[in-house]
Each structure stands twice: as structure tokens, then as C-alpha cells.
Structure 1
Amino acid sequence: MAPETDPEQDPRWDAVRAAARRRVPTPPGLVERVLRAVARGRRTALDVPGEAGHLRVTEQVVVRLAGTIAAARAPAGVRISAVAAEEDVVQVLVSVRFGIAADQAAETLRREITAELSRQLGVATAVNVHVVDVHPG
């Protein structure tokens, strides 16, 4: 078995450090959308059709369910940072371990969450997974 090395000693980690030092601008309109959401309380509900009628599931419940699914289905080396709903889309923020193919891990998790939400709620729910950080291990 090869000795375990500290990933922060890997010379490729310098690129991650350099990226972390760069200021990331706030996306246009983000502050306004957050303030509008807070002001109106974001009590949006999802209508789930059933045999005996419709069930209304609040946005908060969908977010909690998506977070539980994300935590259970996250591939090795992927940490869930946050889960929220915005504009009827579940947004999942993750951190990936250095050396993992971030785009593949995010897509795998997105498919898993989407499929399980659809199975449990009976309706399709849009899910986005964003890699927002890299961690050493």
C-alpha cells in the first residue's frame, strides 16, 4: 500500500490556492432576488397529484427532502454545503475533494437527487448542483 500523502503538498494544489485568492463578483441580481425572497417569505408550495386529490408540499419540505437525499447519495469525496430553492429549482452547493472530477461528481449527484425527488414526490423537480469549493480530503 502506498504511503498516504498530504494533498496540500501536491504542486497542483497551487492552482486551487491561486483561484481562492481571486475575488469572485456577486452574480448580477442575486442580492435583489434574495431580498425579494426574504420580503415575501417564500412560502411557495408544490402541488403533488394523488389518487385522492392534490397534496401541497411547501418549498421548505422540498428543500429538506432534497438535502436528506443529497447527504445520503453524495459520491465519496463530495460534501453538501447548502441546499435551497430558487425560482422553483432546487440548488445544491457542494465541495469536492481535491483530485475528484468535479463535473462528473456534480452531474451524478444531480441525477440521483432528481430521480429520488421524482420518485418520492411523484412530480419532476429541477435540480442544479454547483461545485463551490475544493477540500484537501
Structure 2
Amino acid sequence: MAEQSDPERDPRWDAVRRAAARRVPTPPGLVERVLRAVARGRRTAVEVPGDDGDLRVAETVVTRLATAIAGERAPAGVRVSAVAVEDDAVQVLVSVRFGVAADEAAEALRREVTAELARQLGTEATVNVHVVDVHRD
């Protein structure tokens, strides 16, 4: 039976131990974003102005609708990571395939989601698309 070595004595773990010993500072604005997200969770509806009065659409409905639209309309090489309503705008986080022009792909998706939300809700929404990662297929 082969003797098993103690993984804690493996010298390859030295770099991991050094990294774990470093203090990692909290990213600027993280606490405020978390608190905003918690407060947003109490928000129940998004007001959609209309000719016959305002329509109240649950924020979760807007988020799900925007998620479906973004997933269907994403250009080739773009993966939708997350969608949320924050700061009175639809925020779409995406990953682009290595080699795809990120700015052009994000702008194309922003236009598509904005137009389809306007068509389905009857009013234009602010949509922001953020490229947060690059992937390889």
C-alpha cells in the first residue's frame, strides 16, 4: 500500500498560505451597494407611466422579463450573467467571448433590451449593460 503524504506539507501550498495571510481590503462602495440591494428588496413595484395612468409592475417581473429578453437577444459570443433593477435602471451583467468587441456587443444588447422592454411595457426603460468577464468557448 502506497504511503499517502500529508497535503499540508506539500510545498505547492506555500503560495496559497501566503495569499491567505494577506488582508484583502473591502472594495470601495461594496457596503453601500449591499445596503442598497437590501433596501431594494423591500421595493414592490416599478411605476410605468401610461396615457391612462401609471401601471405598477412588480420589480421581479421587470427583472424576469429583462432576463428573458437579454438571453434571447444576446449577440453571438455574449453570455448574460445577471440582470437586476437598481437605481431605477435595468442592470445587465455579461461575459463576452475572447475576441468579441466588448463595447459593440454590449451596446447592441443594450439597444435590443431597451427596445423590447419599451414594446412590452409601453414605456422606455434605462438599460445599462456591463461587461464583467471574458470567457473562451
Normalising TM by the smaller chain, what interval? 0.7 to 0.9
**In structure 2, how many angstroms separate the alpha carbons of the residues matched to 1:49 and 1:84?**
20
Say if 1:36 and 1:132 are closer, same or farther in 2 by CA, change over 3 A.
closer
**In structure 2, how many angstroms separate the alpha carbons of the residues matched to 1:90 and 1:64?**
11
**In structure 2, how many angstroms separate the alpha carbons of the residues matched to 1:126 and 1:51?**
19
Aligned to 1:133: 133
- Displacement of 1:37: 3.1
RCO (CA 8 Å, sep 6+): is it higher in 1 or 2? Answer: 1
**In structure 2, how many angstroms separate the alpha carbons of the residues matched to 1:110 and 1:125?**
11
Please list the CA deviations of residues 19-70 of structure 1 after superposition, one character each: whole Å capped at 9, or x if unmatched.
xxxx9x73x3232232243146332422234566432102111111100000
Q: CA RMSD in A?
A: 2.0
Unaligned runs of 5+ in 1: 1-22
The letter for the 2-side match of 1:69 is I
**In structure 2, how many angstroms separate the alpha carbons of the residues matched to 1:69 and 1:88?**
18
Aligned residues: 113
Q: Kindly report which structure 2 residues correspond to 1:46-85, keeping only aligned pairs within 5 A, or say none.
A: 46-50=46-50, 53-85=53-85
Q: Kindly report which structure 2 residues correspond to 1:1-137, keeping only aligned pairs within 5 A, or say none.
A: 26=27, 28-39=28-39, 41-50=41-50, 53-137=53-137
**In structure 1, how many angstroms separate the alpha carbons of the residues matched to 2:42 and 2:116?**
23
Which of these two proteins has the greater Rg computed from alpha carbons? Answer: 2
Q: Which runs of 4+ in 1 moved over 6 A?
A: none
Percent of aligned pairs with the same amino acid: 73
Q: Give the TM-score taking structure 1 as reference length.
A: 0.73
Q: Do the aligned residues in 1 keep the contact of 2:75 with 2:105 (CA within 8 Å)?
A: yes
Please list the CA deviations of residues 87-123 of structure 1 after superposition, one character each: whole Å capped at 9, or x if unmatched.
1111100001111000000000000000100110011
**In structure 2, how many angstroms separate the alpha carbons of the residues matched to 1:101 and 1:59?**
31
Q: Give the TM-score taking structure 2 as reference length.
A: 0.73
